[in-house]
Structure 1
């Protein structure tokens, strides 16, 4: 699995979520109970009806199939050989965001979306989300993305509930060179979400 990292800093590297790395995807987004019908980072990747219908192993199988496609479902951060982070990234046109009534389209560019950033417990506070975001941008650019979007909360420095922190914060996106493109009607953890763009 020796590949050139998409991003690298302070011993951390970021790589595409290839099929060879599926066990690491499972570590990052698979539920502790394999029969559980949660997560696998599917709630914003597939239509709500399909997300609700997929149960247990079907959810794992769906994501495994995504890792076999030419365009990978996200990127993984590593500290040495240990997986420590995940960011979901894909063309907005392929996601439910394409039809969102709460998160508007800024323009007609074929934007890619980064909508989930997760860092493993015990590894937070080391800037892993920043290197993940850099890796996600690098991957999208490699795939021809003209512009990359995120939909973080504009929490103005207030604490965000960890269960909802996966959307990211405006400050994290700003540090990665994203700029405010639009407000939205969406909220998360009680905070307004904004569209941040880079490209």
Structure 2
């Protein structure tokens, strides 16, 4: 029986964050910094600089994401936090046009990234990461969570293109679709009690 747990990404879990991000896909090179910088900043940084940026963000707190563990081994990552702090989100025209929420509202949080190590894919980690992220947002005072997943119901999708998550994962966790962003991407929201 496999045991899946999640923990907030704190500086004491730095090695686990790095292990989660380095198991396939773009996590290692991105360091999950893409959502919080402009295109210009992104293009001006290398992997080591992005790693330092993520380290500083985690060290400063609050935790910008969660780490999933499979039987105690770091296996996955989700980025969640206030949408206003994820500057790329509030600068993305398709999201700005689709959302009904004020862009500077600190009570609106966003899920922007999932990473699961190759050897742990297909075990339900994204669902567990999302469930835990919803609880993290709720206990941190968020009133609503937005996400921008891929609608996988049509066409084929490379696993590397699913870092936004799959629409079906969000709908199964109580999110509702409120708009289309671009072909194959949708806006989903979940209000929190």
Cα distance in structure 1, aligned partners of 2:8 and 2:143: 19
Which residue of 77, 102, 124 corresponds with 2:94? Answer: 102
Cα distance in structure 2, aligned partners of 1:134 and 1:126: 14
TM-superposed deviation, 1:101: 0.5
Equivalent residues of 2:30, 2:47 under 8 A apart: no
Equivalent residues of 1:31, 1:40 under 8 A apart: no
Unpaired stretches in structure 1, ≥5 consecutive residues: 1-8
User: Number of aligned pairs?
Assistant: 182
RMSD of aligned Cα (Å): 2.1
TM-superposed deviation, 1:93: 0.7
Equivalent residues of 1:89, 1:136 under 8 A apart: yes
Question: Which of structure 1's runs of 4+ aligned residues deviate more than 4 A?
Answer: none
**For residues 16 and 52 of structure 1, do their structure 2 counterparts lie closer, same or farther at Cα, with a shift above 3 Å needed?**
same
Aligned equivalent of 1:24: 16
Equivalent residues of 2:22, 2:117 under 8 A apart: no
SS class of match (1:44): helix
TM-superposed deviation, 1:90: 1.6
Structure with more of its chain in helix, by fraction:
2
Cα distance in structure 1, aligned partners of 2:37 and 2:22: 16
Which residue of 24, 43, 58 corresponds with 1:52? Answer: 43
Aligned equivalent of 1:91: 82
Cα distance in structure 2, aligned partners of 1:148 and 1:68: 24
Cα distance in structure 1, aligned partners of 2:23 and 2:4: 24
Cα distance in structure 2, aligned partners of 1:55 and 1:124: 27
Equivalent residues of 2:179, 2:187 under 8 A apart: yes
Cα distance in structure 2, aligned partners of 1:50 and 1:148: 26
Cα distance in structure 2, aligned partners of 1:10 and 1:31: 19
SS class of match (2:76): strand
Aligned equivalent of 1:71: 62
TM-score, length basis structure 2: 0.86
TM-score, length basis structure 1: 0.84
Cα distance in structure 1, aligned partners of 2:138 and 2:41: 29
Aligned equivalent of 2:134: 137
Cα distance in structure 2, aligned partners of 1:178 and 1:44: 21
